Amino acid sequence: MIQKVDLLDLAFSMPKTELHLHIEGTFEAEQMFEFAQRNNIALTYSSIDQLKQAYSFANLQEFLDLYYQGMSVLITEQDFYELTMAYLTKVHAQNVVHVEIFFDPQGHLERGIPFSTQINGIYRALKEAESKWDMTFKLIMSFLRHLSEESAFATLEQAIPHLEKIYAVGLDSSELGHPPEKFLRVFKACQNLGLKVTAHAGEEGPAKYIWQAVDDIKVDRIDHGNRSLEDKDLIHRLNHEQLTLTVCPLSNEKLCVVDDMSQHPIREMLSHGLLATVNSDDPAYFGGYMNENYQALIEQSKITIAELKQLAKNSFNGAWMPADKRQKYLSQIDELFAFT
Ligand code: ADE
Ligand code: ZN
């Protein structure tokens, strides 16, 4: 019992980064109804409670159907700003000091919302958090993999005037049937522009998709990567390349990627030396932000103090942040765990 209290306390108080977060997945039902009302948009759910009752998913696609519906009430730059600010305020209170945020421009462009409206609102909130709290950040533009490579290229075209605000590109949405190789050329174009690349792989899709992301796309990071554990050679390769995995425990549970939290593979990942990190993915839909993800791992997966420290360090070593800040936070973690 004492051990459990100490671990929770440590997890909550330690500095944290969030490396896998879809800003549209932070849309709390209350805020969604507020925006729907002020933008005069009818939601298919008659109340906040009814909407929340729909948060039960058998797989990724069932969640995505609701996620795209939810984001349809984001209209103005102020909407994107307030959505982002609400998320940053919450995680600042959880000692998150660095965030790397995905946004899905195609989910808004196809509704007629200009690229500049989206990015300017999100970016304004990030800059405000930076000046108020010294919170550092990177913005990641994600391509929707159920759409065509042509659509991804058209989106990249729209991003060109805003490249100074974008650090990396990602690949998300329905994984099965949409392998990374479908986007080989557009990722090459992004790399030629100096952008970093990450891709969701091995969430529902097979280890083969992770191989493609590593071998063909030459990603800088893997989002999820759960199914890498099925392939010893792949584990070896991920370790050799020192590729960080942005793992999302509560997401995996809610989307039935794992049977239950006690079966979560993050401890096995660590035991193989994989650079696993803890992240929240779509916290408004999956029942928790950063602290709640750590709490689930502590209470249900029984992670040890040594594993908690490793996860904390991995999250800073895998972050795209200035070296001096990284060092400062790594030292703080060493001090916090010095008694162990
Ligand atoms: N978009 C938002 N959340 C996602 C997830 N967990 N997997 C793929 N695409 C997503
Ligand atoms: Zn994700």
Q: Are 103 and 169 in contact (CB under 8 A)?
A: no
Query: Which residues are designated catalytic?
Result: 203
Q: Is the CB of 178 under 6 A from ligand 1?
A: no
| pLDDT tens for each residue of 231-281 | 999 999 999 999 999 999 999 999 999 999 999 999 999 999 999 999 999
100 lines ligand 1 (CB under 6 A): no
The tokens for 319 are 């972050």
Cα end-to-end span (Å), the chain = 17
Give the residue among 250, 257, 253 at the shortest CA–CA distance from 229: 257
Q: Confidence class of residue 4 from pLDDT cuts 50, 70 and 90?
A: low
DSSP 315: H
* Per-residue exposure over 163-193, b if at least 16 CB sit within 10 Å of its own CB, e if not: eebbbbbbbbbbbeebbbbbbeebbeebbee
Q: What is the mean pLDDT of residues 35-42?
A: 97
CATH number at residue 317: 3.20.20.140
Residue 281 in contact with ligand 1 by CB distance below 6 A:
yes
DSSP code per residue over 87-111: HHHHHHTTTEEEEEEEE-HHHHHTT
Q: Is the dihedral of CA 311, 314, 320, 323 positive or negative?
A: positive
- With a pLDDT cut of 90, the percent of the chain lying above it is 98
Mind listing the pLDDT tens digit for each residue in 202-220? 999 999 999 999 999 999 9
Dist. CA 122 → ligand 1 center (Å): 19
Q: What is the pLDDT of residues 120-146, one digit of tens each?
A: 999 999 999 999 999 999 999 999 999
Tokens 């550092």, located at residue: 136
List the domain range (segments joined by +) for residue 252.
4-337
Which residue, 94, 105, 83, is CA-closest to 159?
105
Mean pLDDT in residue range 62-91: 98
Ligand 2 ion: Cβ-proximal residues, 5 Å cutoff: 281
Following DSSP, what letter does each residue of 19-44 receive, concatenated? EEEEGGGG--HHHHHHHHHHTT---S
Please give the mean pLDDT across all residues of the chain.
97
What pTM value is reported for the model? 0.98
Q: How many other C-beta atoms can be found within 10 angstroms of the C-beta atom of residue 76? A: 14
Give the nearest ligand 1 atom to 24 CA.
2
Whose Cα sits closest to atom 1 in ligand 1? Answer: 173
Ligand with an atom nearest the CA of residue 172: 1
Residue 340 confidence (pLDDT) above 90: no
Residue spans of alpha helices (H) in the chain? 2-13, 29-38, 48-53, 60-71, 77-92, 105-109, 115-133, 149-159, 184-192, 207-212, 232-240, 249-254, 266-271, 283-286, 290-300, 305-317, 323-336
Give me the number of domains the chain comprises. 1
CA 98 to chain centre: 13
